[in-house]
Amino acid sequence: MTLTEKLLARAAGKASVTAGDNVWVNADVLMTHDVCGPGTIGVFKREFGENAKVWDRDRIVIIPDHYIFTADSKSNRNVDILRDFVREQGIPYFYDVIDDPNGSWKFDEKKGNMQRQHGSHYAGVCHTALPQKGHTRPGEILFGTDSHTCMAGAFNQFATGIGNTDAGFVMGTGKLLLKVPETMHFRLEGKMQPGVMAKDIILHIIGEIGFDGATYRAMQFDGPGASALTMDDRMTIANMAIEAGGKNGVFEFDAKTEEMVNHRTRLNGTRSTYETVERDADEKFSYELVVDLDKLEPTVACHPDPGKRKLAKEMDVKLDRAYIGSCTGGKTSDFIEFAMIVRGKSVKIDTFGVPATPEIVHDLQSTYWGDKTVWQVLADAGVRMTENSGCAACLGGPVDTFGRMNEGGLKCISATNRNFPGRMGHKESQVFLASPATVAASAITGRITDPRELVS
């Protein structure tokens, strides 16, 4: 069996499964957020009754993160619905934007979009927050009402996005009927060269197979190149499995996985026991690709889909703005790479920085390079850094969303993961996906730029 088949077989209580089998799977964690949480709760109450209790309150994690820092009252109400439900059910893992469980969040005009407008429990973007808060464990099944839930596959678990109807069912029963996907095999060999990042690996792969090339299939990443990647790198790659249509992305377990999971579960007092899955000798794959990391170059996915691959060095595109943030590209390591390029320079176009979580804001504000923090280095270069971590303009959002593209015709280079028309706001704007290093170099020149031109 492949890693995904082993994970699903165990969760189904079976000795083995093969691709195409339909199996009832036990969930370990169900995650939802402010966009899909209210709908999921509505389905749950409709199907199980107004007074029904969730299947296991300790296994439901609720993370508001999408449309948070906005004066839009409908978006604010969504978070209020989550808060009421959490109180009613006694759910412990709710990362509210405010500290008062009986309060309600209001946009503070005086603080605006840049200064912190959240309380001490707020966790930021759900996919980045899940591992930080100790909710990702090897061997487990994670369902989330968000397509990029697949990011947690970096931790040797089966993680996938599901719709509100399925999530309402999981909320009531802790189970879901799943068809076992076929597995595509991506063996990573060699080592990335300077200026190349994990984002380039996944953009290369999606360019190779197309934005629907992995539809309802598992994407397994392994080999010596995968072992050499950091956990942040693996998260970037697993996150974008869905951009090829993948059901999930999955990595092997190793000492790096163990160190991060053990540290994070201990820090947060979450469940710390788990059972990993390892590779079998008889794995059957529906597709195989060897990626030589030594040969990869900074890569861009052009408008209008993540499969439109080009090399940055071959492009001549004038830009209007740059954006670094999101679950994919808003981690501490992403900002560090970005800051190393913009340090001592000035951005030429509007450039927005949105750390994925408050912990990342803290990292950047407390890490010193000489007498300046990384945050100051970024601000001095002209990057508009917000302390309000979250999804922000990655998904467009209400018109007052920080970094949203409100005008047609704008071209943005972005460290995010999706670039279908209208993704970051106006439907006639264009988004080019790239690594934080390529976004940084492009912000400096105002054109899509290979970061190797700016770093030695």
Q: Which residues of this chain interact with ligand SF4, rule CB under 6 A?
A: 66, 125-127, 146, 148, 326-327, 391, 394-395, 416-417
Classified as helix, coil or strand, 395 is helix
Q: Which is nearer to ligand SF4, 414 or 449 (CB)?
A: 414
Closest distance to ligand SF4 from the beta carbon of 392 (Å) = 8
Q: Which is nearer to ligand SF4, 70 or 276 (CB)?
A: 70
Give the residue from 44, 4, 30, 27 showing the smallest Cα distance to 145: 30
Handedness of CA 337, 341, 346, 348 (dihedral sign): negative
Please report the beta strands in 27-144, taking only residues with DSSP state E, as ranges in sequence order. 29-32, 60-62, 93-94, 141-144
Closest distance to ligand SF4 from the beta carbon of 189 (Å) = 29
Residue by residue, DSSP assigns 325-355 as: EHHHH-SHHHHHHHHHHHTTS--SSEEEEE-
Closest distance to ligand SF4 from the beta carbon of 239 (Å) = 8
Q: Which is nearer to ligand SF4, 127 or 133 (CB)?
A: 127
The interaxial angle of helices 164-173 and 37-48, nearest 10 deg, is 60
Q: Which is nearer to ligand SF4, 139 or 397 (CB)?
A: 397
Q: Which is nearer to ligand SF4, 2 or 435 (CB)?
A: 435
Closest distance to ligand SF4 from the beta carbon of 431 (Å) = 12
Q: Which is nearer to ligand SF4, 2 or 417 (CB)?
A: 417
Closest distance to ligand SF4 from the beta carbon of 19 (Å) = 27
Burial of 273 (C-beta count, 10 Å sphere; 0-12/13-18/19+): exposed
DSSP annotation of 193 reads: P
CA 176/CA 26 separation, integer angstroms: 7
Classified as helix, coil or strand, 142 is strand
Closest distance to ligand SF4 from the beta carbon of 125 (Å) = 5
Pair of tokens at residue 358:
């408050």
Q: Which is nearer to ligand SF4, 117 or 183 (CB)?
A: 117
Q: Which is nearer to ligand SF4, 75 or 89 (CB)?
A: 75
CA 414/CA 334 separation, integer angstroms: 12
CA 217/CA 250 separation, integer angstroms: 11
Q: Provide the β-strand partners of residue 414.
A: 323, 433
Q: Which is nearer to ligand SF4, 147 or 262 (CB)?
A: 147
Closest distance to ligand SF4 from the beta carbon of 355 (Å) = 11
Pair of tokens at residue 209:
């197979």
Handedness of CA 197, 203, 207, 210 (dihedral sign): positive
Q: What is the CB neighbour count within 10 angstroms for residue 41?
A: 24
Closest distance to ligand SF4 from the beta carbon of 330 (Å) = 7
Q: Which is nearer to ligand SF4, 55 or 335 (CB)?
A: 335
CA 451/CA 448 separation, integer angstroms: 9
In the numeric block, the tokens 């994925």 are attached to: 356
Closest distance to ligand SF4 from the beta carbon of 324 (Å) = 12
Closest distance to ligand SF4 from the beta carbon of 405 (Å) = 14
20 Cβ contact list (under 8 Å, min separation 6): 179, 180, 182
